[in-house]
Amino acid sequence: MSITQAIIAHMTAMTIALLIDRIIGDPENWPHPVRWFGKWIYWIDSRLNKGAGRRFKGLLLVISMAVLAGVVPFLFLHALYGVHFIAGVLVEGVMIATTISTRSLSEAAYKVQKPLQLGDMEKARYEVSMIVGRDTDRLSEGEIARATVETVAENTSDGITAPLFYAFIGGGALAFFYRAINTCDSMVGYKNDRYFLFGYFSAKTDDVLNYIPSRLTAVVMTAVNVAKSQYSLGHVTSLIKRDAKKHPSPNSGYGESAVAALLGIQLGGLNTYKGIESNRAKMGEPLIPLQAGHIEQAVFIMKRTVYATWLLYLLLGGVISAITYTWS
């Protein structure tokens, strides 16, 4: 394929992916690549994460993911496009759809918000425990809302706009590879005794892959949501600049600080994990007390950001196609 054809294919596949995600999301009983990635990671972890050389063994996990989730899908799509362009676009669209989670993230957030608004704290605590790793059995309404908003904010990039970024520059295969590495990081990228060495390369590779998408997401998020915010563009950007780098992750703070600034709330603070306290840096200013309604507002911010990102890539794709067509 020419560069123009490749751009058209990727843009069309990305659009198909967003439509699929909007209509059906991620049905629980359907086969899903992330589950396959998880099984492979578990299999490698159980066999290699022991004895000497665990950091090198963790690098082998990343390399295996590059082959299984990057090279193999690329060769498959390349062959499929050689058979029929439309078949390639349709399959690539399905592949990209499995890497994004707009609908499932929204549904998970609303499952927390609904009982929280009805005052059913037990149900709300249960639902939030399904999407966060912290202890939830004693969380107040504000803390439940904070946990959910933080999840939506962080996963806007990790779970949606970052895969779209890699789909834009490299199609379904690169989006697949990104999702595989992100899954590696979520499973073994911990700084504890078991994974500090073995998960080192998974965590670092994920950090590198998310560097540009996280910052681009914060820019788009601010640009398309500030008109709906009570706060000025200057106020929002100043808080992002102040707070984003406070997060223990080099990338997650951008989405969280942007959402906090846009809503006038404060994220971060004290969490407990299996009874052990962890004090996270605070994002934003507590201008408005956290409450259930902020969950829905965070979801709206996420959706505007996702579709604005898609439109941005369509525009960039059109410009690049026009330039390459003119030069050819």
Exposed, middle or buried: residue 328 (CB in 10 Å: 0-12, 13-18, 19+)? Answer: exposed
CA distances from 268 to 60, 163, 195, 293 (A): 34, 25, 24, 18
Indicate the domain borders of the chain. 3-327
Low-confidence ranges of the chain (pLDDT < 50): none
Q: Are 301 and 259 contacting, i.e. CB atoms less than 8 angstroms apart?
A: yes
Residue 67, strand partner residues = none
Q: Which residues of 143-163 are buried (b: 16+ CB within 10 A; e: fewer)?
A: bbbbbbbbbbbbbbbbbbbbb
CA dist 73 and 154 (Å) reads: 27
- Per-residue confidence (pLDDT) for residue 49, from 0 to 100: 94
- Per-residue confidence (pLDDT) for residue 298, from 0 to 100: 98
CA dist 323 and 192 (Å) reads: 50
The HSE-up count of residue 254 (CA atoms within 13 Å, CB side) is: 22
CA dist 305 and 297 (Å) reads: 12
Exposed, middle or buried: residue 47 (CB in 10 Å: 0-12, 13-18, 19+)? Answer: exposed
**Could you tell me the two tokens for 45?**
């972890």
3-state secondary structure of 276: strand
Torsion of CA 166, 251, 312, 285, to 10 degrees: 160
- Per-residue confidence (pLDDT) for residue 283, from 0 to 100: 95
CA dist 32 and 282 (Å) reads: 35
- Per-residue confidence (pLDDT) for residue 328, from 0 to 100: 66
- pLDDT 10s digits, 168-221: 999 999 999 999 999 999 999 888 889 999 999 999 999 999 999 999 999 999
The CA angle 156-170-208, to the nearest 5 degrees, is: 55
- Per-residue confidence (pLDDT) for residue 326, from 0 to 100: 76
The CA angle 140-145-148, to the nearest 5 degrees, is: 125
CA dist 139 and 136 (Å) reads: 5
What angle do helix axes 162-188 and 85-97 make, rounded to 10 degrees?
Answer: 50
Where helices occur in the chain by DSSP H, the ranges are 3-23, 33-48, 54-66, 72-83, 85-97, 102-117, 121-129, 141-156, 162-188, 200-225, 233-243, 252-263, 293-327
- Per-residue confidence (pLDDT) for residue 231, from 0 to 100: 96
- pLDDT 10s digits, 76-105: 999 999 999 999 999 999 999 999 999 999
Phi, psi of 198, deg, nearest 5: -65, -35
